[in-house]
Amino acid sequence: MIKIALDAMGSDEYPTPDVIGAVLAAREYDVEILLVGDEALINPILAAQKPGNLPIRVIHAPEMLTMNDKGDALVFKARHKDSKNSMAVGMDLVKNGEADAFVTAGNTGAAWITAFFRLGRLKGVSKPALAAIFPTAKGHTIVMDIGANPDCEPENLAQFAKMGSVYAEKVRGVKNPKVGLISNGEEEGKGNKLVREATPLLKECGVNFIGNVEGKEVIGGVVDVAITDGFTGNVILKTSEAISKLLIDKIKTAIKSGNILVKIGGLLIKPALKSLKELLDPSQEGAAPLLGVNGLVFIGHGRSDEQAIKNAIRVARNAVASGVLDSIKNNLQP
Question: How do strand 56-60 and strand 101-104 relate by DSSP bridges?
Answer: unpaired
Instruction: Dump pLDDT digits (tens) for 148-170.
Output: 899 999 999 999 999 999 999 99
Q: Where are the domains of the chain?
A: 1-125+292-334, 131-282
Cα(95)–Cα(100) distance, integer angstroms: 9
Q: Which residues of 132-159 are buried (b: 16+ CB within 10 A; e: fewer)?
A: bbbbbeeebbbbbbbbbbeebbbbbbbb
What DSSP state is assigned to residue 55? S
Which residues, including other chains, have CB under 8 Å from residue 305's CB and lie 6 or more apart? 11, 13, 17, 21, 283
Q: List the pLDDT tens digit at each of the 334 positions of the chain.
A: 999 999 999 999 999 999 999 999 999 999 999 999 999 999 999 999 999 999 999 999 998 887 777 787 788 778 888 899 999 999 999 999 999 999 999 998 899 999 999 999 999 999 999 999 988 888 889 999 998 899 999 999 999 999 999 999 999 999 999 999 999 988 888 889 999 999 999 999 999 999 999 989 998 999 999 999 999 999 988 888 888 888 878 888 888 887 887 777 777 777 766 766 665 666 677 899 999 999 999 999 888 999 999 999 999 999 999 999 999 999 887 6
Q: Which amino acid is at 119?
A: L
Domains 1-125+292-334 and 131-282 share a fold: yes
**What are the pLDDT digits (tens) for 311-334?**
999 999 999 999 999 999 998 876
Q: Which amino acid is at 303?
A: R
This model's pTM is above 0.85: yes
Domain 1-125+292-334, architecture per CATH: 3-Layer(aba) Sandwich (3.40)
Cα 75 from chain centre: 22
H/E stretch holding 331: helix 324-332
- Mode of pairing for the β-strands spanning 288-291 and 129-136: antiparallel
Identify the CATH assignment for 131-282 out of 3.40.50.1580, 1.20.1090.10, 3.40.390.10, 3.40.718.10. 3.40.718.10
